[in-house]
Every structure is written in C-alpha cells, then in structure tokens.
Amino acid sequence: MRNYLLVVLFCLAQVVSAQKVYLTKVEKTSDNKDKFFYSLNNGSSDAEYLGEIEVQGYSRDDAGIFSMIYKKAKEIGANAFAWKPFETIDGKTEPFNPANYKLGLYYISKDKISDQAGYLYLFASADKDQKIAVNDKDYTIIPRSYLKLQIVPNQVYSISTKKLLGSSIKVQPKSGDQNMYFQVSSAKVKADHSGVGGLNLKSGDIIGLEKSFAEFLSVIYDQVKLN
C-alpha cells in the first residue's frame, strides 16, 4: 500500500511539474497598477513592448496556468499580451502548440485598446464534445475550442446544455460595446473569487468568465468555424 501511494504521489508531482512558465525576456518595466490583462491579438501600435513569457509543457488546468502567467506578467507591469509564433529554420512561423508557446508582454493605456465588441464567446474545455443550444439553435464545440457569435443589444439570449439535467441561463447584453464570455464544462470547476482572471458566475455547467481569462482562452483555444 505504501509503495502504491508513493507511485501515485510521484505521478501527481509529474503532472504538476509538467508545465512551466518562464519570464524569458525583460526589455523594460512599467509601474502601473492595472489589474486587467487583455489580448492584443487584434493589433495595436500604441502598445509598449516589455518582455516575453514562454510556457513549456502541456496542462489541462487552464485557470492554473493563466494564474502563473498573470503573476509573471505583473512582475514587470504588463497589462496586455499577444501570442508570438516560433520561427522555423527556413523563416516560416510554426502553428500554435499548447505544449510550448510564447507570449509577448506589453503595457498599453486601457483607452487605446482596440477590441472586437458585441460577441458571445462559448468555450469548451472538457475531454469530449460539448453540445449547446443558443436560442434553440444547436451547436457542438469540440474540446479546447470556442464558439464566437455576434450579439444584438437588448436581445435575450437563452443558453442551455443539451443533456439530461443540464444547465440553462438567460443573458441580455445592454449595449453593442461589450462581450459576454462563458465556459461549458461537464466537469466540476472551482470558482476563483480573487478578482484576478478567474472563473465566476457559476451556474451548473455553464460558467461566466472574467474578460482577461477569457481572452487568454481565445488565444490558446481554436475558434469553431461556422458555416
């Protein structure tokens, strides 16, 4: 029994240590106290480059890895990030690899962030496909992917999981300059009430996401292509 426990503990240690986050480059620092950490993948010429983070190893604990990245980024005052593809020997860029990727870190004034607003994001993080209905229209979201739907201000959106005893919620965007972010999960997800890039607004297996964490997921997940 003791040997079995040692094996289990060793395996757990291997899983925990499987993914590492390194602050690999520091060009400069910023002394801002911003709590947000938004994606710059839409591009912005007003962003000030601060450094780089590299993630090595694969993990399914997306909230945990985001927390590690967030802490490293705040060490140098970054409030924005963007994926930086690795280059091959022949100068081509490699596709995103969830087991090894690099993020550029930046500082930018919040009022200069360009944002695609007016969308509903639905993320699936489970090991199997997630079936979901939005206003009675059915969708399937494969693991580690997300659905992006344009929303109309003041329209009520009913979101429900397509399974026995599943969850359903109704949301109503008040304006066209906001996004809504939810995660669909068949597993129990622990909420993070720290106020810094975690999970909140839990309703069964449909969970509201904080903007910073959701934008991180939109970088490391694949977008579902709609017909």
- The answer to whether residues 88 and 143 belong to one domain is no
- The answer to whether residues 198 and 219 belong to one domain is yes
State residue 201's pLDDT score.
44
For the domain that residue 189 is a member of, what is the CATH number? 2.60.40
- The answer to whether residues 106 and 129 belong to one domain is no
State residue 113's pLDDT score.
83
Boundary (domain end) residue, out of 112, 130, 163: 112
Mean pLDDT for each 10-residue chunk of the chain (227 residues)?
Answer: 42 56 96 94 80 95 95 97 89 89 95 86 86 92 94 92 76 87 70 48 72 96 89
Measured distance CA(63)–CA(210) in Å, rounded? 11
- The answer to whether residues 98 and 146 belong to one domain is no
State residue 42's pLDDT score.
62
- The answer to whether residues 7 and 75 belong to one domain is yes
Measured distance CA(165)–CA(133) in Å, rounded? 14
Q: How many domains, the chain?
A: 2
- The answer to whether residues 124 and 104 belong to one domain is no
Boundary (domain end) residue, out of 67, 82, 112: 112
Boundary (domain end) residue, out of 57, 87, 112: 112
Q: What is the pTM of this model?
A: 0.82
- The answer to whether residues 67 and 160 belong to one domain is no
State residue 104's pLDDT score.
96
- Which residues make Cβ contacts (< 8 Å) with residue 89, sequence separation at least 6? none
Using alpha carbons, select from 181, 45, 160 the residue that is nearest to residue 118.
181
**Is residue 41 a contact partner of residue 219, using CB atoms and an 8 Å limit?**
yes
The residue segments making up the domain with residue 37 are 2-112
